[in-house]
Structure 1
Amino acid sequence: MSEVSEKLKDAQRRIAALAKASPELFGGFARVSKVAAASGSFTSTQKELMAVAIAVSKGCEDCILYHVDAALKHGAKEAELVEALEVAVEMSGGPAVMYGAKALEIMRALQ
């Protein structure tokens, strides 16, 4: 298992621990997440790429791991991720460059 896959598994374990510790809170969050990720005017892939761009802008590596993985599961391509990262960099500058590079590295490691 790659280092990136291990980091993703670690993040998923932490989320599961919080869900177990606070099932009511997590149940609400899970419902919000399900609605937010569902296809509508935007596809689920596009929504996951938006989430990656926001995670990059916010500097949340675990969020990047989670949403890159979800984007891949919905069929996202590297070129699409790069376009989303371009928007994140436009909106967040230098820090987004650093986290955007992590997002690209994560996608390549998870493919």
Structure 2
Amino acid sequence: MSDARQKLKDAQGRIGLLAKASPDLFAGFSRVSKAAAASGRMTAAQKELVAVALAVSKGCEDCILYHVDAALRHGAEEADLVEVLDVAVEMGGGPAVMYGAKALEVLRALREGSKT
């Protein structure tokens, strides 16, 4: 298992712990997440890429892992991510450069891990 895949699994485990500890809160959050990610005028992949940009601007590494993985599962390509990271860096400055680089690294690691 790749390091990125293990980190994603660990993050998902932490989410599961919170879901068990606070099921009502998590049920509401889960409904919000599903509604936000549903395809509409934008595809699910595009919405996940927006989430990556927000995660980059907020500096949330676990969010980057989760949403890069979801974007890949919905068919996003590396070039799509790079375009979104360009905007995230424009809006977020230096810190977004650092987290944007992490997002690109995660995408490549998850993509390579799925080929093995």
Please state which band the TM-score falls in when normalised by the shorter chain: over 0.9
TM-score, normalization: structure 1? 0.99
Alpha-carbon distance, 1:45 to partner = 0.4
CA shift, 1:41, in A, is 1.1
In the other structure, the counterpart of 1:66 is: 66
What is the TM-score with the length of structure 2 in the denominator? 0.95
**What is the aligned residue count?**
111
For residues 39 and 82 of structure 2, what CA distance do their matches in structure 1 show? 21
Q: Deviations over 1:36-78 (max 9, x none)?
A: 0000111100000000000000000000000000000000000
Aligned match of 1:11: 11
Identity of aligned residues (%): 77
Residue 105 of structure 2 corresponds to 105
Gaps of 5+ in 1: none
User: What SS class does the counterpart of residue 98 from structure 2 fall into?
Assistant: helix
CA–CA separation in structure 2 for the residues paired with 1:105 and 1:92: 18
* Structure 2 spans left out of the alignment, 5+ residues: 112-116
Separation (CA, whole Å) in 1 of partners of 2:96 and 2:83: 13
Tell me the equivalent position of 2:57. Answer: 57
Which whole-Å CA distance do the structure 2 matches of 1:72 and 1:20 have between them?
27
**Deviation sequence 1:18-50 (CA, Å, 0-9, x none):** 000000000000000000000011110000000
Aligned to 2:114: none
